[in-house]
Structure 1
Amino acid sequence: MSAATYEHDWFIHSPTPRLERIEAYFGSHAYDPHRHDTYAIGVTLAGVQSFHYRGSHRHSLPGRTIVIHPDEVHDGHAGDIHGFRYRMVYVPPTVFQDMLGGQPLPFLPGGITTDARMAESVLRLLRPIDDALESFEEDDALFDLIRAMNALAGTQTKPRRVDAVSAQRARAFIDDSPQGRITLDQIEAVTGQNRWRLSRDFRVLFGTSPYRYLTMRRLERCKRSLDAGDGLADASLAAGFADQSHMTRQFRDAYGISPGRWLKLTAQATGQSRERG
């Protein structure tokens, strides 16, 4: 993304019950030296995002991911005259530790990475900066993020036996209620298995996460509604999405096109089929 210069600095605050999320632009100086008791993990969107961290002057370019460990002093300023724009999520170590189960927190000493898996994981939490995240969606994105951080930090995890029975129960529960407001709390209660172990086992057995599996079932339901002539807003709500914009974002992520374009393409294909018949 190319740099864009704004007249004034600006800041968007979009928290969730567990996380703080922000998007901001600064033309020059942003922050004096400070430290958090959380991870600060974000993506540079435009310009050069510069900061002092662990004895070095770091410079993040668009598309790169920043990972600042808890209790590490850092500052923030623009690396050139164009300013910089970025998104950041602040994750308490306690949230990650619930997933790690006593393993050490991952540490990335350089503070900046070009790892594609990290960028994708962070953007799942930050792409809908103006939209609310479902708790299930947030749990799923956080689990992907800690797995990416562990892989990048080279953290060794102990192999564990896969609980296929609990994973199958979770899949059946999702299949039976794709339009419902499902949470990991509910799945944990249905299966009797720890939510984070269940998330790992589900990925091993079904090749995707529980939340993405739910999302695809919702999208299938939505497409059937659209084929039946329902409007986008009604089809979104009936399928279990928070609203039309939530469905549209998930539709694009899953299929690479908007639902409106998908409708036009399917209508054209139907018309051509009738002409051939």
Structure 2
Amino acid sequence: MNPIDPQRRADWLLRAKPVAGIERIEAFFQGKAFAMHRHDTYAIGRTLAGVQSFKYRRGTTHSLPGRTMVLHPDEPHDGQAGTGEGFRYRMIYVQPAVFQQVLGGRALPFIEGGVTNDPRLWAATEALLQQVSQGIDPFEQSDALAELAHALAAVAGTPPPRSKGDFASAQRAREYLDAQCQQAVSLGALEHAVGRDRWSLSRDFRMFYGTSPYRYLTQRRLDAARTMMLRGMPLADVAACAGFTDQAHMTRHFTKTYGIAPARWLRIAGGASERVVTIVQDTRLPGA
């Protein structure tokens, strides 16, 4: 986990530029951080270092690195450091109406105690709780919010909706993403091409293809990127041609998908390709 920077002992707060109304922050506090207050949003986050303590509902809760905090709208809470070292954390604030676009009128999910170590919520918040210095593509954010809404409902035990899904729409979306994977893809353009709203489309796409539209698009871009890399194209050019914002954007998704950075993958995979060619050449019959 990210350590507490000993050079930054004073309290601080960083705020990312809001995207489609979703606020993201990262902060460090010592001692008493803030008094009792409440939001009309969900406050969902994770402690990066230290112990984050807060009064919530009927007791005091302690959040440690590796856990996910989920504070329900309109629930009073405060915040303070659980130890003398202070605590560092990231948080997003999401209007209940955003989740309702996904849940379709089902009861808002409630996570008892305000803190959970459920791996489903950890995974679902990964994209939304990245460093605030890293921008989030609106397509990626929308996709991540849909995944988070489903994860919250699953962990809270909210009954799933009864839906057969719309395969034709999901298929049109897949074909559109295949055709446009190396171009800038906007949510509006995808909705227009398919004729469905983003939330319904996201649900159907997961149902029929086992992943989200944004992750499907990212994987197709990574497929193209690997091919370009093996052809000797510079990584910065690969990122631009494959449809990523920049090389850092490509590197983040490449590493998250394959567990290895692009440059290292290229050294390994490129060398392996050369060895295969050499073996084929050396095993040809004499006179071939």
Please give the TM-score of this superposition, normalised by the length of structure 2. Answer: 0.92
CA distance in 1, matches of 2:125, 2:248: 20
- Match in the other structure for 2:118: 115
Matched ranges for 1:204-223 at <5 A: 204-223=207-226
Structure 2 gap segments, 5+ residues each = 282-288
Given that 2:28 and 2:88 are in contact with CA atoms closer than 8 Å, whether structure 1 keeps it comes out as: yes
- Match in the other structure for 2:36: 33
What is the aligned length?
277
CA distance in 2, matches of 1:261, 1:9: 38
Q: Which amino acid aligns with 2:72?
A: H
- Match in the other structure for 2:243: 240
- Match in the other structure for 1:265: 268
Q: Which amino acid aligns with 1:4?
A: I
Q: Which amino acid aligns with 1:194?
A: D
CA distance in 2, matches of 1:50, 1:5: 19
Please give the TM-score of this superposition, normalised by the length of structure 1. Answer: 0.96
How many Å apart are 1:107 and its aligned residue? 1.4
1:45 partnered with 2:26? no
Which consecutive segments of 4 or more residues in structure 1 shift more than 4 A?
A: none
Between structure 1 and structure 2, the one with the greater Rg is 2
Identity of aligned residues (%): 49
How many Å apart are 1:235 and its aligned residue? 0.7
- Match in the other structure for 1:4: 4
Matched ranges for 1:101-180 at <5 A: 101-180=104-183
How many Å apart are 1:102 and its aligned residue? 2.0
Range that drifts further, 23-32 or 265-274: 265-274
How many Å apart are 1:271 and its aligned residue? 3.3
Structure 1 gap segments, 5+ residues each = none
How many Å apart are 1:184 and its aligned residue? 2.6
Q: Which amino acid aligns with 2:4?
A: A
CA distance in 2, matches of 1:135, 1:52: 34
For each residue in 1:125-174, what CA deviation from the matched residue of structure 2 results, as whole angstroms up to 9, or x when unmatched?
A: 11242111111100110001000100111111221112111110000000
Given that 2:222 and 2:242 are in contact with CA atoms closer than 8 Å, whether structure 1 keeps it comes out as: yes
CA distance in 1, matches of 2:250, 2:3: 30
Give the alignment's Cα RMSD to 1 decimal. Answer: 1.4
How many Å apart are 1:272 and its aligned residue? 2.5
CA distance in 1, matches of 2:70, 2:213: 26
How many Å apart are 1:25 and its aligned residue? 1.2
CA distance in 2, matches of 1:158, 1:120: 22
For each residue in 1:80-108, what CA deviation from the matched residue of structure 2 results, as whole angstroms up to 9, or x when unmatched?
A: 11111111001111211222222221112
- Match in the other structure for 2:284: none
